[in-house]
Amino acid sequence: MWTQKIRNDFDRIALHEQQGWNHNSHYHNFLLKQLPLQCENALDIGCGTGSFSRILAQRADRVIAIDLSPKMIEVAKQKSRQYPRIDYQVADILQWEFPVKQFDAIVSIATLHHLPLENLLPNLQAALKPGGKLVILDLLQHENIQDRLSDFLAVPLNWIFQTFKNRHIKRSPEAAIAMKEHLRTDKYLTLSQAQRIYTKSLKGAMVRKHLFWRYSAVWQKSSVTP
């Protein structure tokens, strides 16, 4: 039932999706820098309309891009006609059969807070090739006064970026309403919760806080695996 709600929310959001700068695209370059320079196979979990899948396709021979929402995948396919390397699939990642030691890179942006992270991480670990990279960006809940200060700083910066970077974009009230309704039920980890969960499953994972209510987690699988 919860999965159905998420699917419905994102089907609705996809209809009103707007291009332009946002708190996730702000980190695309940072995420790209964490990835191998050349990949045979890459996986994008919760690809949405494919904005990062298309960037990944410049680095990878094949990108599998998965999303729960059929509408998101429909829009992603329309936007990716020039990207034959991307294989878009409508699927619930929790039901997906992960291939073993298949991917040089697994990426997920603003999606894992919808999923039981502790159960998912072992699958991601097994699906990476030796030496493969896991790169996550997700939303973060503040937990202390420093977080509140950086949230405070993010508000005017957000306004500046929205005003200047998105000045050519016509705002859609429907998009704002659909997103606002979805966000009402969203729950996020704090940085210390994220650090504990990632480092428990993935030894040496680097989990960092970023501006605009985000954290990143980066982990490289050992190239010497049993």
The amino acid at residue 202 is L
- Residue 118 or 152 having the CB closest to ligand SAM: 118
Minimum distance from residue 200 beta carbon to ligand SAM (Å): 21
Q: Write the CB contacts of 202 (distance below 8 Å, at least 6 apart in sequence).
A: 121, 125, 134, 219
Q: Hey, what's the torsion of the CAs at 189, 193, 196, 197, to 10 degrees?
A: -30
Query: Which is nearer to ligand SAM, 8 or 144 (by Cβ)?
Result: 8
Is the Cβ of residue 94 or residue 157 nearer to ligand SAM in the bound state?
94
Binding positions for ligand SAM, rule: CB under 6 A: 6, 10, 24, 46-48, 51-52, 66-69, 72, 92-94, 109-111, 114-115
Chain residue whose CB lies nearest ligand SAM: 48
In whole angstroms, the minimum distance from the beta carbon of 115 to ligand SAM comes to 6
User: Is 126 in contact with 78 (CB distance < 8 Å)?
Assistant: no
Quote the least distance from Cβ 98 to ligand SAM, whole Å.
Answer: 12
Going by C-beta distance under 8 Å and a sequence separation of 6 or more, which residues neighbour residue 82? none
Amino acid at 11: D
C-beta closer to ligand SAM: residue 126 or 199: 126
